[in-house]
């Protein structure tokens, strides 16, 4: 299986996108994930820059504006369809709300699945605070109701929601792993979705636990002979880290550390 490492544009939107892509490519990334709101930016021009720079393209469907489910759903599906028309490698979607009912969130998941099939592009729903997938303990019922659900594994969010490294929830991780088709490699801990420094011995326990989960996902894809798996190191800028003068440089370097660490550590 081929593991590809993509960079994140998050934290570099103050730079021209062409410069960002060139920087990521020079750092050894084979593509990038970018949050694109079709109502606010020229998404076709953005996709062209990826093509021109020879970079794989993952579009993130941003968190929709808050509102009632019947207001959010049409906007969610409209934005999703326009992004799918760009033929990205996949969509990383921020889907539903933690305070919506189970049935309301299923409308978002089902609508996304129909569009994914229509355009032949995977839509992976990120495990993320505030979304339908905000905690490990809620996932069983969604996966039972919609067993074809694809997920972006970002277990860092579940750690802060549960205020733990999910020591008593491994049985849920085991059920979730077969649905994880994409990885956001960020290390969370009991008090936050991002440790201050994944290379610090202070957070070795957290790094090793997340590595075990990522290896479990890799192992599943090896078993089922998946040709390719994409991992995006996704440590974020302020407010995910302290807003120091060198915050953006530290963010970039932490993501490089994760890429290099995983390329040496994961068994493929």
Q: Which residues contact 200 (CB under 8 A, 6 or more apart)?
A: none
CB 173 within 8 A of CB 155: yes
pLDDT per position in the chain (268 positions), as tens? 999 999 999 999 999 999 999 999 999 999 999 999 999 999 999 999 999 999 999 999 987 778 899 999 999 999 999 999 999 999 999 999 999 999 999 999 999 999 999 999 999 999 999 999 999 999 999 999 999 999 999 999 999 999 999 999 999 999 999 999 999 999 999 999 999 999 999 999 999 999 999 999 999 999 999 999 999 999 999 999 999 999 999 999 999 999 999 999 999 9
Query: Measured in whole angstroms, how far is the alpha carbon of residue 142 from the centre of its chain?
Result: 18
Dmax (CA) for the chain in angstroms is 47
Distance from C-alpha of 239 to C-alpha of 119, rounded to nearest angstrom: 35
Q: CA dist 237 to 37, 58, 84, 180, Å?
A: 19, 19, 27, 25
Cis, peptide link before residue 191, omega less than 30° from 0? no
Q: Give the strand pairing for 123-126 and 151-153.
A: parallel
The pTM of this model reads: 0.97
Return left, alpha or beta for 247; rule: phi > 0 is left, psi -120 to 50 is alpha, else beta.
alpha
Question: Where do the domains of the chain lie, and which CATH numbers do they carry?
Answer: 2-265 (3.20.20.150)
């Amino acid at each position: 299986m081929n593991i590809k490492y993509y960079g994140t544009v998050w934290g570099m939107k103050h730079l021209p996108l062409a410069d960002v892509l060139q920087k990521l490519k020079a750092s050894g990334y084979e593509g990038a994930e970018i949050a694109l709101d079709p109502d606010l930016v020229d998404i076709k021009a953005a996709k062209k820059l990826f093509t021109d720079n020879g970079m794989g393209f993952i579009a993130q469907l941003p968190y929709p504006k808050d509102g009632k489910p019947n207001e959010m759903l049409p906007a969610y599906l409209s934005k999703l369809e326009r992004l799918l028309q760009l033929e990205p490698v996949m969509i990383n979607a921020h889907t539903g709300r933690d305070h919506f009912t189970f049935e309301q969130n299923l409308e978002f998941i089902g609508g996304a699945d129909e569009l994914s099939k229509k355009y032949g592009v995977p839509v992976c729903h990120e495990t993320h605070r505030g979304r339908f997938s905000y905690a490990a303990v809620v996932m069983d019922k969604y996966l039972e109701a919609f067993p074809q659900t694809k997920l972006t594994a970002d277990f860092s969010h579940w750690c802060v929601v549960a205020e733990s490294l999910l020591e008593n929830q491994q049985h849920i991780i085991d059920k979730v792993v077969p649905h994880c088709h994409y990885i956001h490699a960020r290390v969370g801990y009991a008090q936050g979705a991002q440790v201050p420094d994944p290379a610090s011995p202070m957070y070795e326990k957290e790094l090793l636990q997340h590595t075990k989960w990522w290896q479990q996902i890799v192992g599943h894809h090896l078993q089922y002979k998946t040709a390719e798996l994409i991992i995006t190191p996704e440590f974020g800028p302020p407010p995910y880290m302290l807003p120091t003068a060198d915050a953006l440089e530290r963010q970039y370097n932490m993501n490089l550390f994760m890429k290099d660490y995983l390329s040496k550590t994961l068994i493929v």
